Structure 1
Amino acid sequence: MTNLLERIKNTVMADINHLLDKKEDKNPLALLNQYVRECEKETDKVKKLLERQYKLKEEFSKELHQAEEMAEKRKRQAEVASKAGEEELSAYAQQEQAHFEERVVRLAESLKNTEQQLREIETKYMDMKHKLKDMKIRQMELMAKENITKAHHTMNKVLEEKQVNPTNQARFNEMEQYIDKLEEKINTEYFKQTMDEKLAALEKNQLKKEDDSISL
């Protein structure tokens, strides 16, 4: 148990900055993503060990309680049998009492060790969770840097191509002219539609006035 926990702890507690600073690492974000996935798996393993240790603690506590009750019960029965002159029953009860008392000592020691191991696992599990959280924050930081780097690279590339490449310059000019014409066309259509609506409304209003005059 101790060796397993130490191995997991050493895996998770490795210095992430040292890994990222390796000269051969061309993509630190990809390395960090892989490392985070591995640490998540190891953390899940410790979580399962922790849950199992809790169950073992409960089982040891239950067995200890039962053994203590049986030891006390056999002690009481041995005294009753002895007073009644039932030496055979008294001897049997005393023998059973001794067995249960031995079991109590053994279970108490096992429970003590289990509780100590449980505290160790809990401490390591919390350390791992904090380390994993720190790595995920670092992961988001690197993702943000990667995004902004790609954005600047793309924008610079577009601007450089526009300035340096004559073909691209002509293409950009053509696109700008197309956008200007499209905007002009949209504005013209909007103006026409607005005027048509105003003329139609005016005509309708005039016809209404004429109809009202005839009616009178």
Structure 2
Amino acid sequence: MTNLLERMKNTVLADINNLLDKKEEKNPLALLNQYVRECEKETDKVKKLVERQYKLKEEFLKELRQAEEMAEKRKKQAEVASKAGEEELYTFAQLEQTHYEERVVRLKESLRNTEQQLHEIETKYMDMKHKLKDMKIRQMELMAKENTTKAHHTMNKVLEEKQANPTNQARFTEMEEYIEKLEKKINTEYYKQTMDEKLAALEKDMLKKEDDSISL
């Protein structure tokens, strides 16, 4: 029974992989888009883990500083109690000092482990960011290729229809003639406007010269 279930599972997995392969061959961009979305989610998860690890590091540092301060404080208090002959207070302060010193050792070890783990997570995070960027670049390359392919297909289709259908041929010819006329009209209007501006400037310059002559 176990072997049968295993064979069935392998068969299903093989069918899924086969479908994915066919999908990738048929539409690689769609599959890549899916990979990019999944990679973005995983990268965001690791980013949150990095941020959490930084917070844990700060908490360990905070606890370590407090433990060191208390260990030093209890040490001084034990010395004062010893000089004063307060045995009970001396015992209490010394016991507290020992607890805090042990805590300092433990916190230092935890801090070292946290920093090492943080380095590992950050390294993985940076690696994932680079891979994600590479995938996005590949995504843009495929989009550009797909866009060019569609453009060529559309242009070829239009040109084929133009050659196959006389009506389309006449329509395209008419459109080309209209564009040429429009271009000539625009050029003419631009030339007239330019000449008007030059004449106006010349007229203004001549009037200025006449005014200057009268003034003299």
Shorter-chain TM-score above 0.5: yes
- Asked whether the 8 Å contact 2:23–2:31 carries over to 1, the reply is no
The change in CA–CA distance for 1:74 and 1:182 in structure 2 (over 3 A counts) is: closer
Cα deviation per residue 1:25-78 (whole Å; 9 max; x = unaligned)? 222112212221221222122111111111111110111111012112212211
Taking the TM superposition and a 5 Å limit, the aligned residue runs for 1:89-100 are 89-100=89-100
The change in CA–CA distance for 1:179 and 1:93 in structure 2 (over 3 A counts) is: closer
Shift of 1:171: 2.8
Shift of 1:155: 1.0
Identify the residue that residue 79 of structure 1 maps to in structure 2: 79
SS in 1 for 2:154: helix
The change in CA–CA distance for 1:182 and 1:109 in structure 2 (over 3 A counts) is: closer
Aligned-pair identity (%): 82
Q: Which amino acid aligns with 1:50?
A: V
Relative to its length, the structure with more helix (as a share) is 2
Q: Which amino acid aligns with 1:159?
A: L
Identify the residue that residue 162 of structure 1 maps to in structure 2: 162
- Could you tell me how far apart the structure 2 residues matched to 1:27 and 1:89 are? 79
The change in CA–CA distance for 1:97 and 1:155 in structure 2 (over 3 A counts) is: same
**Structure 2 unaligned residues grouped into runs of 5+:** 1-19, 197-216
The change in CA–CA distance for 1:183 and 1:62 in structure 2 (over 3 A counts) is: closer
Taking the TM superposition and a 5 Å limit, the aligned residue runs for 1:46-85 are 46-85=46-85
The change in CA–CA distance for 1:183 and 1:117 in structure 2 (over 3 A counts) is: closer
Identify the residue that residue 126 of structure 1 maps to in structure 2: 126
Identify the residue that residue 172 of structure 1 maps to in structure 2: 172
- Could you tell me how far apart the structure 2 residues matched to 1:118 and 1:75 are? 34
Shift of 1:24: 2.6
- Could you tell me how far apart the structure 2 residues matched to 1:83 and 1:182 are? 108
The change in CA–CA distance for 1:153 and 1:75 in structure 2 (over 3 A counts) is: same
Shift of 1:177: 5.0
- Could you tell me how far apart the structure 2 residues matched to 1:73 and 1:181 are? 96
Identify the residue that residue 36 of structure 1 maps to in structure 2: 36
Identify the residue that residue 22 of structure 1 maps to in structure 2: 21
The change in CA–CA distance for 1:75 and 1:144 in structure 2 (over 3 A counts) is: same
**Structure 1 unaligned residues grouped into runs of 5+:** 1-20, 198-216
- Could you tell me how far apart the structure 2 residues matched to 1:140 and 1:181 are? 40
CA RMSD of aligned residues (A): 2.9
The change in CA–CA distance for 1:24 and 1:78 in structure 2 (over 3 A counts) is: same
Shift of 1:166: 2.9
SS in 1 for 2:22: coil
Q: What's the TM-score, normalizing by structure 2?
A: 0.71
Q: What's the TM-score, normalizing by structure 1?
A: 0.71
